[in-house]
Amino acid sequence: MRDYNKTLTATVYVTNNGRVLLHMHKKYNTWFPLGGHIEEDELPHEAALREVKEESGLDVTLFTAEDIAFSTGLVGRIPQPLRIYNEGIGSEEEFLDFIYAATALKDTPCSEDDESDIFHWFCADELLCPTENIKLHIRNTALLSLYTVNGIPKEERRYFTETDGCFL
């Protein structure tokens, strides 16, 4: 059995006025959502909010699916992620990534930690364009975030397939 490390991360697809914010990742030179490692004694949603603030300076509200509210007594509820991904499968380090969608009231990001200095707000049409330098899972999760936050019915949603330029 091989040795590997599971790293916990939180990622946020920040939306504003029908667009989603991505930044040019300095190490990988491709568009990424905001996010990073979950620190010791930090819950995933807390890391998500902290990472957005550090990387973009934006205050956001995490999207939560509406459900029936009921008392849980002394048991606390935390915001449910949009998705949880296992990334880096087969590599030395794998990431268990808690994926959140969020909304921002402002649309002017400004990095507090110099991790990000190139930002772009992508609309759905740009995300559906195969010329953008965006990994498939990031492209489709950005679209999912836009659709979910904006209440787009499932039958009206379009996503990319493995073949560039094709969408469902």
> What is the rounded CA–CA span in Å between residue 134 and residue 95?
19
Q: How big is the chain, counted in residues?
A: 168
Bridging pattern class, strands 119-123 and 19-24: antiparallel
- Rounded to 5°, the CA angle 9-129-57 comes to 40
62 pLDDT tier (thresholds 50, 70, 90): very high
Structural domain contains residue 48: yes
Structural domain contains residue 92: yes
What are the structure tokens assigned to 104, written together? 């921002």
Structural domain contains residue 117: yes
Structural domain contains residue 162: no
Query: In CATH, what number is assigned to the domain containing residue 35?
Result: 3.90.79.10
pLDDT: which is higher, 162 or 57: 57
Structural domain contains residue 148: no
> What is the rounded CA–CA span in Å between residue 65 and residue 155?
18
Asked if pLDDT for residue 164 goes beyond 60, the answer is no
> Per residue in 78-97, pLDDT tens?
889 999 999 887 777 889 99
Task: For residue 14, give its domain range.
Answer: 5-66+80-123
Distance of CA 89 to the CA centre of its chain: 19
> What is the rounded CA–CA span in Å between residue 166 and residue 161?
6
Give percent of the chain above pLDDT 90: 64
Structural domain contains residue 114: yes
Average pLDDT over residues 118-125: 94
Across the chain, the runs of DSSP E, i.e. the strands, are 5-16, 19-24, 31-32, 34-37, 60-62, 83-87, 93-104, 119-123
Structural domain contains residue 60: yes
Stretch among 34-43, 51-60, 75-84, 105-114 having the lowest mean pLDDT: 105-114
Number of domains in the chain: 1
